[in-house]
Amino acid sequence: MTLALQFAMAAEATPFLERRGLAHAHTDPRYGFEFHEGDGLVVAIAGTHPRYRVDSIGTISAVLLTSTLLERYRPALVVNAGTAGGFQARGAKVGDVFLGAEVAVFHDRRIPLPGFEAMGRAHLPVHCDRALAAKLGLKVGVVSTGDSLDCTPEDLAQLTALGAQVKEMEAASIAWVCERHGVPLVLLKAITDLVDHPSATSEQFVKNLALAVGRLTDALEALMEQLP
Ligand code: ADE
């Protein structure tokens, strides 16, 4: 049985790859996606955009990467691990690690046309073992996805209406693809910044990235030990 891990940023994946000693196996020639293999695991990373020379974060690459990953490796389960924003008003702290709750949603797809509103927000299935979260000391919360690091008033209204506790840029798009393939998805997200904090998200993100990735890597190792 193959288990797949999907990351958006190399900085999020590297400590896990180093701890596990997983070898680089393949680079997708068109999109630059990176795949590492070993120990019954495949680790998929969005890679570097060839012109902008930064990690290909966000929903476009996430969808293509998940589709490529599922077609190429046919994993039994996908774990999407990464960093995210949290909400201090809902008890989140920098460095917390969340297991995604049973649905993932989008907060920046507003389509006020008859029938399209629900498809825009989407309610996409996520596998959530709350007993396991409690055992591993993980918080549980709804993960919401959009294509911006900042948060407009419209985004915030949607996040609040959806009961989101975690704001990031890939999970719901990965869930969209996993649902079509009938492959279960687990979300693991470490908090780098607080959306409702006065300092800029980008400053918090840069300052707290190493701490959050350390916590993410520890949580991922603990989660892997519990999976069959
Ligand atoms: N990744 C880390 N923090 C984030 C935030 N606040 N919004 C979107 N993606 C993030």
pTM for the complete prediction?
Answer: 0.98
Identify the band that residue 120 occupies on the pLDDT scale cut at 50, 70 and 90.
Answer: very high
Per-residue pLDDT reduced to its tens digit, 49-98: 999 999 999 999 999 999 999 999 999 999 999 999 999 999 999 999 99
CA dist 3 → 43, 61, 203 (Å) = 9, 20, 34
Which residue's CA is the closest to the ligand 1 atom numbered 5?
Answer: 85
With a 6 Å cutoff on the Cβ, whether 168 touches ligand 1 is yes
The pLDDT, as a whole number, for residue 8 is 98
Instruction: Decide if 193 is catalytic.
Output: yes
The Å distance, Cα 19 to ligand 1 centre, comes to 25
Which residue's CA is the closest to the ligand 1 atom numbered 7?
Answer: 149
> What CATH number has the domain spanning 3-226?
3.40.50.1580
User: Cα(178)–Cα(188) distance, rounded to whole angstroms?
Assistant: 16
| Percent of the chain clearing pLDDT 90 (strictly above) | 98
Strand-strand pairing, 185-194 and 77-86: parallel
Which residue's CA is the closest to the ligand 1 atom numbered 6?
Answer: 85
The Å distance, Cα 170 to ligand 1 centre, comes to 10
With a 6 Å cutoff on the Cβ, whether 86 touches ligand 1 is no
Identify the band that residue 216 occupies on the pLDDT scale cut at 50, 70 and 90.
Answer: very high
The Å distance, Cα 84 to ligand 1 centre, comes to 4
The pLDDT, as a whole number, for residue 50 is 94
Judged against a pLDDT cut of 80, whether residue 228 lies above it is answered with no
The pLDDT, as a whole number, for residue 1 is 83
Neighbour tally for 54: CB within 10 Å: 9
The pLDDT, as a whole number, for residue 227 is 85
The mean pLDDT of the chain is 97
Among residues 12, 96, 108, 168, the one annotated as catalytic is 12
With a 6 Å cutoff on the Cβ, whether 205 touches ligand 1 is yes
More reliable by pLDDT, 228 or 170? 170
In three state form, how does the secondary structure of the chain look?
Answer: CCEEEEECCHHHHHHHHHHHCCEEEEECCCCCCEEEEECCEEEEECCECCCCCCECCCHHHHHHHHHHHHHHHCCCEEEEEEEEEECHHHCCCCCCEEEEEEEEEECCCCCCCCCCHHHHHCCEECCCCHHHHHHHCCEEEEEEECCCCCCCHHHHHHHHHCCEEEEECCHHHHHHHHHHHCCCEEEEEEEEEECCCCCCHHHHHHHHHHHHHHHHHHHHHHHHHHCC
